Chain A
Amino acid sequence: SQTIHQWPATLVQPVGSPLSLECTVEGTSNPNLYWYRQAAGRGLQLLFYSVGIGQISSEVPQNLSASRPQDRQFILSSKKLLLSDSGFYLCAATLRASYGYTFGSGTRLTVV
């Protein structure tokens, strides 16, 4: 079975500072990878997904970017954080031949 590792668990960053959130996957190869954001008390918003190394699809235009430098590594970045970037960020993975997502434990980002 696959395991998703996300860090850090919590992060407080000032407006205008850069961001780098990392997600790594164990127990599988060639997964599809996803970044979701969840605002407080709200549902899941898909930000980016990747079907392979270097392949990134963006779902929502925003202040964020994603990269996949290795098969099982997915990174969410920003050059300058905005207050509206605050939220709970979740990484998820699935095998192409499978249908369910496995989620990481999430990163709580607060931009101050």
Chain B
Amino acid sequence: GESVGLHLPTLSVQEGDNSIINCAYSNSASDYFIWYKQESGKGPQFIIDIRSNMDKRQGQRVTVLLNKTVKHLSLQIAATQPGDSAVYFCAEGVGGSNDYKLSFGAGTTVTVRA
């Protein structure tokens, strides 16, 4: 769902540890999910996506897990680095409609400790 007016939760992680960022989505009809990374003063950048016919997808140092039963999405970052410090947003969408829109989660601020 949308994150209007919500303050962002935070996650502090030691450099080298694994990070897990969680997201609850709202629409049972959503069939596409994306994680974005937003560094300070910049626009969000695509990290990884997953479609509803999958429950896990791996990228470089990142893994997205999807649990449709409880409408939960997570992003795992392996061996977290200082460059991973950013705000992370999950997004959900229903494909195929002409007025396609993504709904963004509240976002999580990740701070990596040296």
Contact = CB atoms under 8 A, between A and B. Distances in A.
A32 interface: yes
Contacts of B104: 43-44
Contacts of B44: 44, 90, 101, 103
A74 interface: no
B8 A99 contact: no
B41 A108 contact: yes
A106 B45 CA distance: 12
A105 B3 CA distance: 20
Interface string B34-59: 10100001111110010000000000
A61 interface: no
Contacts of B102: 101
Interface in A53-104: 57, 60, 88, 90, 92, 94, 96, 99-104
A30 B36 CA distance: 23
Interface stretch (B14-22, B66-74, B76-84, B91-99): B91-99
Chain B interface, >50% SS class: loop
Contacts of B98: 51, 96
Interface residues of A, number: 28
B89 interface: yes
A96 B100 contact: yes
Contacts of B105: 43
A43 B89 contact: yes
Given A43-B106, A45-B2, A90-B44, A99 B100 contact: yes
B6 interface: yes
Contact of A99 (B3, B49, B107): B49
Given A90-B44, A92-B43, A96-B100, 4 more contacts: A42-B3, A44-B107, A49-B101, A106-B41
Closest 3 CB pairs of A and B: A43-B3, A103-B43, A44-B104
20 contacts: A32-B100, A34-B101, A42-B3, A42-B4, A42-B7, A42-B8, A44-B3, A45-B2, A60-B4, A90-B44, A99-B32, A99-B34, A99-B93, A101-B46, A101-B102, A103-B44, A103-B45, A104-B43, A105-B43, A108-B41
